[in-house]
Amino acid sequence: MEWRQAWRTQEEAVRKWQRDSWRKHRRVGQQRWRGRWGLRRRLTFAFAFVALAAVFITTWFTLGAVSSVLFPAQPDGDFFQHPGDGWWAWRDNPAWNRPEFAQARQAFGRITGVAFGAGTLAFLLAVVAAAVFTRILTRPLIALTDGAKRLEAGERGIQLRVPRSRDELRALTEAFNNLVRGLERQESWRRGLVADIAHDLRTPLAVLRSEIEAMQDGVAQPNAAGLERLHGQVMHLSKLVDDLRTLSLAESGGLALKKERVSLAPFLRGVVEAFAARANGDGTGLELRGIPPDLEATFDRGQMTRVLNNLLDNAMRHGAGPVEVHAAAQPEGVKITVRDHGPGIPPEALERVFERFYKTDASRTRKESEGSGLGLSIARAIVEAHGGRLEVANHPQGGAVFNVFLTA
């Protein structure tokens, strides 16, 4: 039985090798066929055909015009030729062989030879020009194909030579180079993101592990304080996972929004009142400046509350009081502003504050136990999901200013 099983296994291996070999040869054959009838050769044949047709038509009408001059209409008994009928009509008539037309026949023969010779030379030159032109035309396309295959194979840092001509091929090559650079930035950003997530997960997991192992070894007793610490770390992990999910949905367009018409005055008053106790406890101070009572905007209440909560939390943790909140009408909609009176944001960090897990200098860096490091990223993603934008700047008199622009 064993030898039968071995024989079947060997037979299946041989069949698999035959199938793979056939597929490989078929794929190679298809590639050769595409190479044989690639774009370059097809364009060359197309240009050659057009040149041949142009030469034939030009020669045909040229000989017709010459024959109408050399062999005019001649009434002669049994036949009458109309002007423009051409030499092909005269060849079938007795007048063609008359002595008085001998010189015309010789001239016509020379003209015919010159016309066909010039046409043949023009055709050959057109074929050569077409071959050279199509080579120049398809060279960037071949380079793009090769670059795409190298990119597919996992190679990075590919930059193709940009054609000197300012045409679509140059634009396509520049777009490919920009795509490769963008992929490199995304890859670098992804690696950094994974490292940041691993770092943020490592701390609470290490605390959970040490607490649980201490309880298992009898070093610590499972009391209320220990359980509270474990619960705090679990909630930190839960918030991190929830923030990552919200950010992913918002950036991919999968965030469900229940938009409605909202009056901003009572809405912002409710958001500010929710932070009043914290602001008073920290001594930060929180002010809601005058907002027009008729100012309205269209957005999802829950998601926009989350945006403002993140902005207020960021201002109260990193800035200094008082934190100001106000809104005003804009030509394209409304603007909601959150300003603190802290040290502001370093100029080199203004473009990066919305990146995931990005940390500024020590004066504005969050504590390890606070937040998930995704608050501003989530805020911007939610605002953009509403069709608006979130901007940041430093106030001339100090502090950071976050502006939320929404359609009215």
Summarised one tens digit per residue, pLDDT across range 38-48 is 667 777 788 88
Contact 332, 400 (CB under 8 A): no
Peptide bond into 331 cis (omega under 30): no
- And the tokens for 215? 């309880």
pLDDT of residue 317: 82
Across 237-246, b (16+ Cβ under 10 Å) vs e yields beebeebbeb
pLDDT of residue 80: 38
Strands (DSSP E) found in 193-301: 259-263, 286-288, 296-300
- Given pLDDT bands bounded at 50, 70 and 90, which one contains residue 231? confident
Distance, CA of 130 to CA of 124 (rounded, Å)? 10
Choice between 326 and 283, residue whose per-residue pLDDT is larger: 326
Q: What is the pTM of this model?
A: 0.57
pLDDT of residue 59: 78
Q: 303, 292, 273, 286: which is closest to 339 by C-alpha? A: 286
Strands 286-288 and 323-330: parallel
- Given pLDDT bands bounded at 50, 70 and 90, which one contains residue 393? very high
Q: 304, 307, 309, 298: which is closest to 262 by C-alpha? A: 298
Residue 389 pLDDT more than 90?
yes
Residue 74 pLDDT more than 80?
no
- And the tokens for 218? 């009898």
- Given pLDDT bands bounded at 50, 70 and 90, which one contains residue 30? very low
Choice between 48 and 13, residue whose per-residue pLDDT is larger: 48
- Given pLDDT bands bounded at 50, 70 and 90, which one contains residue 334? very high
CA atoms within 13 A on the CB side of 262: 23
Q: 3-class SS at 368?
A: coil
- Residue extents of the structural domains in the chain: 2-175, 259-407
Whole-number Cα distances in Å, 29 to 37, 43, 265, 266: 12, 22, 71, 72
Question: Which of the four CATH numbers 3.40.190.10, 3.30.565.10, 3.40.640.10, 1.10.3720.10 does domain 259-407 have?
Answer: 3.30.565.10
Residue 62 burial class via C-beta count within 10 angstroms: exposed 0-12, middle 13-18, buried 19 and up: middle
pLDDT of residue 366: 42
Per the prediction, the chain carries an average pLDDT of: 77
Residue 64 burial class via C-beta count within 10 angstroms: exposed 0-12, middle 13-18, buried 19 and up: middle
* Most confident segment among 51-55, 91-95, 207-211, 384-388: 384-388
- Given pLDDT bands bounded at 50, 70 and 90, which one contains residue 72? low
- Given pLDDT bands bounded at 50, 70 and 90, which one contains residue 392? very high
Distance, CA of 264 to CA of 308 (rounded, Å)? 12
Percent of the chain with pLDDT over 70: 78
pLDDT of residue 124: 85
Residue 139 pLDDT more than 70?
yes
Q: Which residues contact 323 (CB under 8 A, 6 or more apart)?
A: 279, 284, 285, 286, 287, 312, 315, 316, 338, 339, 340, 341
Read off the amino acid at residue 61: F
- Given pLDDT bands bounded at 50, 70 and 90, which one contains residue 356? confident
* Most confident segment among 116-125, 181-190, 247-256, 396-405: 396-405
- And the tokens for 331? 């030509």
Contact 363, 349 (CB under 8 A): no
- Given pLDDT bands bounded at 50, 70 and 90, which one contains residue 14? low
Residue 273 pLDDT more than 80?
yes
- Given pLDDT bands bounded at 50, 70 and 90, which one contains residue 188? confident
> Which stretch of 51-55, 285-289, 367-371 has the lowest confidence by average pLDDT?
367-371
Contact 317, 366 (CB under 8 A): yes
Choice between 92 and 177, residue whose per-residue pLDDT is larger: 177
Summarize the confidence of residues 181-187 as an average pLDDT: 83
- Given pLDDT bands bounded at 50, 70 and 90, which one contains residue 307? very high
